[in-house]
Amino acid sequence: MRHLLAAAALSLAAASAFAADMPAKLRIDLKNSTSASVGAASLSEGPSGVLLHVEVKGLTPGWHGLHFHETGDCSKADFTSAGAHVHAMATKIHGLLNPDLNEAGDLPNLYVAADGTGAVELYSTFISLKGAGGRPALIDKDGSALVIHANPDDYTTQPIGGAGARIACGVIAGG
């Protein structure tokens, strides 16, 4: 019995140490222009980027552009308060298919099914939660935002890939 208790204590200690090494998840709420919830996202720091998991509901079916924007402010109904895409250089080149890409906020599109729900999990090596590896930080003095657009991003057109209006926004701060 004594050995079982010792083994259990050792397992608990190892699990606690492992949990301490695990990256913390940051959860954000996604809201539409009337401040109604349309979903949530979680972000986790990885060894060389950020893992993003997004779940949405009540959106128009089809593909939607998804980007990290430079300011953690979703206060305006059109979400222009979130600013431009997160970028690593003064010259901003948009598009995952553009060979000169340098916007760190570019992400693959989100697909929304006929019932208005969608989910995506992706990993971006362009950014970091707090600036690890010299990548732009999502959590800085003014935060950042995750923005969903009305249309798909074509990954080449400047400045936002033809993604259109901003239809949902979530503030990334803290952590």
The pLDDT tens digits of the residues spanning 57-73 come to 999 999 999 999 999 99
24-172 belongs to CATH 2.60.40.200: yes
pLDDT of amino acid 4: 33
The pLDDT tens digits of the residues spanning 91-117 come to 778 888 888 877 888 999 999 999 999
* Amino acid of residue 30: L
Distance from C-alpha of 167 to C-alpha of 157, rounded to nearest angstrom? 19
Question: Angle at Cα 149 formed by Cα 118 and Cα 84, nearest 5°?
Answer: 135
Write the DSSP symbol of residue 134: G
